[in-house]
Amino acid sequence: MRKPLNNRRAIGLVLIAVTVLNMPFLSQKAIAADILSIGFENASERQGNCGTGGVFCAAPYVAVRQVGPYINDASFCRSGSWCSSHVLAGGLFQANMDHDINMNSLPYEGHYWHAAWRFPSTFRFQTGDIDWKAMLWESPQYRLYFNFRNNPNDKTRATPAFCIRNCQTAADWVYGSGGERVMTDDKWHTVEVYTSGSLLQMWYDGVLEINTTAANLTGVVTEWKVGTYQNGTIPFNETFYVDDIQVSTQRIGGSDPTSSPPTEPSSLQVR
C-alpha cells in the first residue's frame, strides 16, 4: 500500500512542477539568434536595415525592400511591441511583398531560419496557382521555396511544403506531416527551417514536420525573402503580419500558436 505524501515532499513536487512550467524551452517566444534577428523594435529595422542581436548583423545583412505599415502594439505582435504588416492591394499582379534580405553569401549548411506569420480570420489565399511562397532562398545555383500550398476549394486552408527540386512533379515536393490546416485563425504561427547539405528539416509551431535527406542544399544564400512572393492577380485587398525574422547556428525554438485574442491591432505606424 502506498504511503501518503508528507507535506515537505508535496511542496517539493509543486516547486518542481512550477519550475518546469517556467523553463525557457516551453516559452512561446523565440530564443535570441546569433546571426540575424529582425523584430522591428527600432527605427533602423523598420527602415529596412538589419536587425539587432546578431554577431554579423551590423554590416552584411540589409533588407532591400521595405514593407509596412508597421504595427506598434505589444498585445498584437508576437514579441516585443512591433511587427510588420503586409498589405496586398487588389489588382496587384505577381505580389512581391516580403522582407528581402541580402545574406552576403551565407552558407546554406548548418543554419536555422525562423519567422512567424499571422493571418486574420478574414484573410483568404488568392494566388493564381496554389503556391503561396512564404520563404525564398536565392543562390547562384537555384532557388529553395517554402510554401503554404493552399486548398483551391477552401482558401482558408494550406499545407506547409518545400519544393526541393524543380517544382514540376509530385516527387519535387515534401509536405509537413501535420497536413492541411486552417491558417486564418488570427494567431501567430512559427516556421523554423534547418538547411545542411542533403538534410532539410522544418518545425511548424515547434513541432518537427519535415525531416528529409532528399535535398541538395550546398553553396551559399545570396538573398532570403520572408513574407509572400506569389503569381497571379490579387482580386481584393488583403493584409497579413510577420514577426521575428531570425537566422542562427542553433535551434531558435518557439511554441506557437499564441493565445492572444483575435482583435485588430490598435496602432498602425509607419516608420
Confidence of residue 25 (pLDDT cuts 50, 70, 90): very low
pLDDT of 138 higher than 70? yes
Q: Which of these ranges, 8-22, 63-77, 123-137, has the smallest mean pLDDT?
A: 8-22
Q: Quote the number of domains for the chain.
A: 1
Residue 15, in any domain of the structure: no
Residue 74, in any domain of the structure: yes
Residue 10, in any domain of the structure: no
Most confidently modeled of 53-62, 148-157, 202-211? Answer: 202-211
- If you write DSSP's letter for every residue of the chain in order, what string do you get? -PPPPPHHHHHHHHHHHHHHHTSGGG-SSPPPPSSEEE---SHHHHTT---SS-TTTTTT-EE-S----EEE-TTTSSSSSEEEEEEE-TT-BS-EEEEEEEEEEEESTTEEEEEEEE--TT-----SSSEEEEEEEE-SS-EEEEEEEEETTEEEEEEEEEE-S-SSSGGGEEE-TT-SEE--SSSEEEEEEEEEBTEEEEEETTEEEEEES---B-SEEEEEEEEEE--SB--S-EEEEEEEEEEESS-----PPP---S---S-EE--
Q: Which of 183, 202, 182, 180 shows the shortest CA–CA distance to 191? A: 202
Cell 549548411, residue located: 109
Predicted pLDDT at 7: 54
Contact between 103 and 249 (Cβ < 8 Å): no
Give percent of the chain with pLDDT exceeding 90: 38
The Cβ-side half-sphere exposure at 37, using a 13 Å CA radius, reads 17
| Mean pLDDT of all residues in 169-176 | 91
Grid cell at residue 64: 532591400
- What are the pLDDT digits (tens) for 46-82? 766 555 433 333 334 444 344 668 899 999 999 999 9
Predicted pLDDT at 268: 44
Predicted pLDDT at 89: 74
Q: What is the mean pLDDT of the chain?
A: 77
Contact between 5 and 13 (Cβ < 8 Å): yes
Contact between 70 and 40 (Cβ < 8 Å): yes
| Mean pLDDT of all residues in 171-186 | 95
Give percent of the chain with pLDDT exceeding 70: 70
Q: How many CB atoms lie within 10 A of CB 128?
A: 12
Whole-prediction pTM: 0.79
Residue 104, in any domain of the structure: yes
Residue 126, in any domain of the structure: yes
Domain holding 45, by residue range, is 29-269
Residue 21, in any domain of the structure: no
CATH of the domain at 195: 2.60.120.200
Predicted pLDDT at 231: 73
Predicted pLDDT at 222: 86
